């Protein structure tokens, strides 16, 4: 194996390139028009353009990948995850061309890619499976009959589903009928397969998966587990290894069954066997992912094993040298998925140029996997992942604390991001207790995300930080007395009078009420990040400068803070508040995207809830509905148009 083509993009392409270079193997990148200047094309030894931005015309076209191999002389392909990574036909095509596929055999991909056949194979291999009916359900009435036999609640699933698509929970006959119809429809729409099956829904479930690695010499091993229960709409958000729920006995039982399944299908590569685990640690097979997982870094952090490197080694025929009992479990690791989305607006996807992209300092305790860079663009064409942030600690508490600190100091500007949300999750008391299920996010944020709650201690720190920032910046432009009186207002809180005085190496903040704070003076005027040390503990703040005051963010809390002299504060209380503009007459694009359908024309009468337009952005279809009754006055777009965020799409009378 002399040259590997990575048939993917973004952070996984960059990750595989690093592994290949460790082994002295040259790399080839493929890229679409949108990725012409991306990080993975810069890292590769060679780069080949394979078509337009849409993945259906570039990364998903097998012939273009093969053609790129032939042009560059690449003798192997690593598929990464997504795209063609679990496509048995792609594996067979490469086999025909004499090109090594860095992954399992076509038969293993095929066997594990179908939920019904994979469960039957798992049962034959002695793997625990969820009670259910694995035959194809023909209609809604049959779904009701079988659901009653199994006993509610049940999970209705599309056989070819994945990523949360084609899955419904039913608690009664009516929900079973609707669930069967929806699962079949989504299965056909997203995967071209409308087969549906039903199984028992496990209450208080946790999603825990076992990482496996096997070679072509008959060796197969489990590399501990990953806890993946922190999910939103069946998509993983925060992962960790090991799980805070498993004991050694359950871990070994799950690992042994995962290996048995590998051996049953002749598996050779890295893979993941996913389980649902009940409240009594009963576990049941869900599915097997025949590829590298997004969350693989947490396994690497606790074992020291480079999974991407060993995928390459196994593909070129090497024998895995370790024994099962030699695989370590060192400390604790957590991963947060940073997405280009706005959690304050129902997690709408975002895009744009990264005017600032400054990850926290990396080392043995902090790792960042990314495919972007400062000045680069996050486009609307692909998955909105910006980066994966991974932290390690000797125990779970240390790993979580490092994660919070790293999130506080991860600076992203130019597009929306979910750092505040991730910060709120990893600092939530239930998360820190380890007592959670896959329903954690719905239960912790039942009204959606509006920021983490602000404690009295947070309010005190935010006010002190803003006062120190203001005091330091003003000192650059005008002579300041040693003691400066200020009135600080944290949004939603009462104004606080305080003085800030400079003493050797510190700023002394003295609020009118409360204890004085000695703040280590390390802030540099103009920086978007500030670190203040108070009582020996460091606090990282992100700073947005506003027309007046600052917007500070820390620990999932984001607040506007005004810092005024006493006289200006007094005058400010007399100013009337400006009313926001009335935008109810307009349909406005919440994100950049492609117009898939326009369902209203000029002159149409619409009522609240009517579908007006469908906008696609970052692999998601967003249905835009009327928020008021009215008559369509203007339509500014047509099907196939590309629109920018905040564009006016329609106007109403």
The three-class DSSP label of residue 582 is coil
Three-state SS string over 591-622 comes to CCEEEEEECCCCCCEECCCCEEEEEEECCEEE
Candidates 98, 100, 125, 99; CA nearest to 111 is: 125
DSSP string, 480-527: --SEEEEEEEETTS--EEEEEEEETTEEEEEESSS--EEEE--PPTT-
CB 529 within 8 A of CB 469: no
In this structure, the chain runs to a length of 653
Which DSSP symbol is given to 455?
P
Beta-carbon count within 10 A of 482 CB: 9
Residues designated catalytic: 287
Phi-psi label, residue 500: left if phi above 0, alpha if psi -120 to 50, beta otherwise: beta
CB 59 within 8 A of CB 84: yes
Q: Give the Cα separation of 134 and 393 in Å (integer).
A: 42
CB 404 within 8 A of CB 419: no
How far are the Cα atoms of 176, 252, 308, 595, 600 from residue 616, in angstroms, in the given order?
A: 29, 44, 32, 6, 17
**Cα four-point dihedral sign 465, 466, 468, 473:** positive
DSSP string, 217-239: TS-EEEEEEEEEEEEETTEEEEE
CB 593 within 8 A of CB 352: no
CB 19 within 8 A of CB 313: no
Q: Give the Cα separation of 139 and 540 in Å (integer).
A: 56
How far are the Cα atoms of 138, 140, 250, 498, 561 from residue 513, in angstroms, in the given order?
A: 70, 66, 53, 9, 18
Candidates 305, 277, 275; CA nearest to 288 is: 275
């Amino acid at each position: 194996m002399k040259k590997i083509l990575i048939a993917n993009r973004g952070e996984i392409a960059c990750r595989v390139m690093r592994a290949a270079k460790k082994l002295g193997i040259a790399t080839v990148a493929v890229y679409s028009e949108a990725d012409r200047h991306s990080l993975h094309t810069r890292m590769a030894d060679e780069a080949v353009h394979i078509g337009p931005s849409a993945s259906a015309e570039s990364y998903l076209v097998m012939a273009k990948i093969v053609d790129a191999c032939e042009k560059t002389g690449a003798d192997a392909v690593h598929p990464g995850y997504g795209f063609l990574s679990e496509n048995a036909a792609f594996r067979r095509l490469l086999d025909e061309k004499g090109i090594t596929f860095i992954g399992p055999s076509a038969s293993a991909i095929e066997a594990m890619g179908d939920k019904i056949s994979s469960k039957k194979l798992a049962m034959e291999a002695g793997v625990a499976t969820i009670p259910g009916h694995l035959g194809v359900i023909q209609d809604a009435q049959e779904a009701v009959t079988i659901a009653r036999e199994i006993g509610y609640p049940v999970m209705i699933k599309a056989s070819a589903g994945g990523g949360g698509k084609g899955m419904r929970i039913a608690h009664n006959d009516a929900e079973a009928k609707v669930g069967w119809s929806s699962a079949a429809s989504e299965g056909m729409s997203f995967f071209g397969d409308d087969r549906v099956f039903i199984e028992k829904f496990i209450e208080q479930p946790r999603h825990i998966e076992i990482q496996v690695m096997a070679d072509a010499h008959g060796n197969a091993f489990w590399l501990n587990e990953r806890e993946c229960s922190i999910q939103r709409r069946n998509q993983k958000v925060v992962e960790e290894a090991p799980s805070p729920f498993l004991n050694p006995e359950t871990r070994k039982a799950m690992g042994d069954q995962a290996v048995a399944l590998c051996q049953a299908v002749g598996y050779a590569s890295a893979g993941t066997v996913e389980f649902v685990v009940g409240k009594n640690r009963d576990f049941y097979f869900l599915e097997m992912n025949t590829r590298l997982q997004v969350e693989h870094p947490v396994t690497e952090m606790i074992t020291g094993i480079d999974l991407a490197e060993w995928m390459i080694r196994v593909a070129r025929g090497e024998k895995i040298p370790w024994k099962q009992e030699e695989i370590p479990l060192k400390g604790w690791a957590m991963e947060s998925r940073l997405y280009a989305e706005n959690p304050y607006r129902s997690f709408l996807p975002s895009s744009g140029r990264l005017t600032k992209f400054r990850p926290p300092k990396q080392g043995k305790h902090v790792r960042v996997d990314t495919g972007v860079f400062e000045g680069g663009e996050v486009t609307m064409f692909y998955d909105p992942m910006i980066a994966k942030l991974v932290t390690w600690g000797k125990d779970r508490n240390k790993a979580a604390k490092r994660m919070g600190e790293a999130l506080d100091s991860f600076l992203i500007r130019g597009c929306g991001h979910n750092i505040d949300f991730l910060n709120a999750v990893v600092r939530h008391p239930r998360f820190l207790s380890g007592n959670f299920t896959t329903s954690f996010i719905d239960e912790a944020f039942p009204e959606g995300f509006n920021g983490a709650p602000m404690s009295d201690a947070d309010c005190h720190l935010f006010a002190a930080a803003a006062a120190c920032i203001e005091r330091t910046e003003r000192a650059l432009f005008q002579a300041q007395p040693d003691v400066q009186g200020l009135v600080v207002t944290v949004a939603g809180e009462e104004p606080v009078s305080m003085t800030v005085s400079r003493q050797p190496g510190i700023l002394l903040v003295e609020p009118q009420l409360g204890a004085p704070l000695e703040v280590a003076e390390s802030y540099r005027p103009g920086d978007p990040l500030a670190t203040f040390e108070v009582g020996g503990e460091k606090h990282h703040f992100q700073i947005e400068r506003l027309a007046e005051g600052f917007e500070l963010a820390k620990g999932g809390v984001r607040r506007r803070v005004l810092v005024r002299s006493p006289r200006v504060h007094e005058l400010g209380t007399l100013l009337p508040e400006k009313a926001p503009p009335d935008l109810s007459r307009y349909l406005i694009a919440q994100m950049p995207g492609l117009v898939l359908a326009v369902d209203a024309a000029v002159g149409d009468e619409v009522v609240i809830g009517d579908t007006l337009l469908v906008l696609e952005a970052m692999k998601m279809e967003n249905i835009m509905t009327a928020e008021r009754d009215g008559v369509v006055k203007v339509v500014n777009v047509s099907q196939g148009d590309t629109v920018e965020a905040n564009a006016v799409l329609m106007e109403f009378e």
